[in-house]
Amino acid sequence: MKFLVTGATGFVGSHLCDQLEREGHEVYALVRSEKKAKEFNVKGTLLFGDLSAKKCEWVDHLPTDIDVVVHTAGIVHSLDTQAFYEVNYEATKTLSNKLCEHLTNQFKFIFISSLAAAGPAVNKEIIDEEDIPTPVSDYGKSKLQTELWLKENLRDRCDLVIIRPPMVIGPRDVAILDVFKMVQSKVILIPGLNGENKSYSFVNVFDLCETIYKTANTKTRFGDIFYSSHPQVITMRELNSEIKKSMGNPRTLSIKAPKLLMKFIASLVGLLKIDVRLTPDKYNEIAPDRWVCSGEKSRVVLSQDYTWNISKTIEMTYNDYKERGWLN
């Protein structure tokens, strides 16, 4: 099959291109940075461009018979909340319309959304695809807004599937690298006095890529939503413990920061426009106690087998960081 992967120099996109090439498919990879494409050795035919390009002219260089589009590109972190809607929502609208005009066959559009689009588990232990979304951040709201637009406007134009991963961990992941660096510094900041007991679903990037691949090869209903999530639920304490174990169990000091202090710092970051991950929008995601979702539907409908538990996932991630010199 012929695949288009957007965000091909990103964490998920680069691994997906690896898998698709191994499976023998023809891959067209949208990349912004030639340097990063070389660093991650992105597979496939490279298309240089991004979602902000006027009317996505780079689509004109695609064959007209692409079978599957996997849209992984988007913004996760930004001090400018409007950027979430400009890139995650408006640019996706432009891209999907352009693809529908350019491609001559009935293609499958796989939108990589996020658990943030659904929001945290508040009134139940674990959420699934039937629960009404209640996003708490602009990032999550922009993803949900995009999901709704795609379902309303792409019917009869292509086959649409939405995948909502929770926390994604694995080699090349720059997000959880911050936690590894805290452990390396021997000082771990815990968000909230009860922060160590916060619960999270997760998925290894290789398992997520397998979910995407199975979705591409399975007959699905228009607008189907799947959580790609390992059945193991972890706490912040367990995550930190696994990271410490991978690094030889160094002695560390855990500092619990009250939510009000975290909120104040996040507000200060937003006010001073400091480019760090603790933005006001990110605080809205840090504050809830349970980000937990069920991957049962993916196991039943897609025959997904989640093979990477948290221990193996953290070990492989740490080894990758060492090889790249990201922890020096």
Q: What CATH number did the domain enclosing 16 receive?
A: 3.40.50.720
The β-bridge partners of 310 are none
Tell the burial category of 249 from Cβ atoms under 10 Å away from its Cβ (0-12, 13-18, 19+): exposed
The pLDDT, as a whole number, for residue 254 is 86
Residue 92 within any structural domain of the chain: yes
pLDDT bin (cut points 50, 70, 90) of residue 33 is confident
Residue 325 within any structural domain of the chain: no
pLDDT bin (cut points 50, 70, 90) of residue 162 is very high
The pLDDT, as a whole number, for residue 148 is 98
The β-bridge partners of 257 are 191
Yes or no: say if 88 and 74 are a contact pair by the CB < 8 Å rule: yes
- Would the pLDDT of 53 be above 60? no
Helix, strand, coil distribution of the chain in percent, nearest 5: 45, 20, 40
How large is the average pLDDT for residues 30-34? 90
Contacts of 288 (CB under 8 A, 6+ apart): 119, 120, 122, 136, 198
What is the average pLDDT score of the chain? 92
The pLDDT, as a whole number, for residue 275 is 56
Cα distances (angstroms) measured from residue 166 to each of 201, 231, 243: 6, 12, 19
| Count of the separate structural domains present in the chain | 1
Residue 56 within any structural domain of the chain: yes
Most confident of 30-34, 47-51, 169-173: 169-173
Could you tell me the sign of the dihedral formed by the alpha carbons of 180, 186, 187, 191, in that order? positive
Yes or no: say if 92 and 142 are a contact pair by the CB < 8 Å rule: no
Give the model confidence (pLDDT) of 114-138 as tens digits: 999 999 999 889 999 999 999 999 9
> What domain range is 86 assigned to?
2-168+204-228+292-307
pLDDT bin (cut points 50, 70, 90) of residue 209 is very high
Contacts of 219 (CB under 8 A, 6+ apart): none
How many residues are there in the chain?
328
- Would the pLDDT of 262 be above 80? no
pLDDT bin (cut points 50, 70, 90) of residue 153 is very high
Residue 133 within any structural domain of the chain: yes
Nearest Cα to Cα of residue 21 among 209, 221, 189, 153: 209
How large is the average pLDDT for residues 148-162? 97
How large is the average pLDDT for residues 220-240? 97
Element (H, E) at 153: helix 138-153
Residue 263 within any structural domain of the chain: no
The β-bridge partners of 227 are 164
- C-alpha 190/C-alpha 275 separation (Å) is 20
Nearest-Å Rg of the Cα atoms of the chain is 19
Residue 148 within any structural domain of the chain: yes
How large is the average pLDDT for residues 31-52? 89
Yes or no: say if 66 and 28 are a contact pair by the CB < 8 Å rule: yes
- Name the pTM for this structure: 0.94
The pLDDT, as a whole number, for residue 263 is 72
Yes or no: say if 163 and 113 are a contact pair by the CB < 8 Å rule: yes
Residue 52 within any structural domain of the chain: yes
Residue 254 within any structural domain of the chain: no
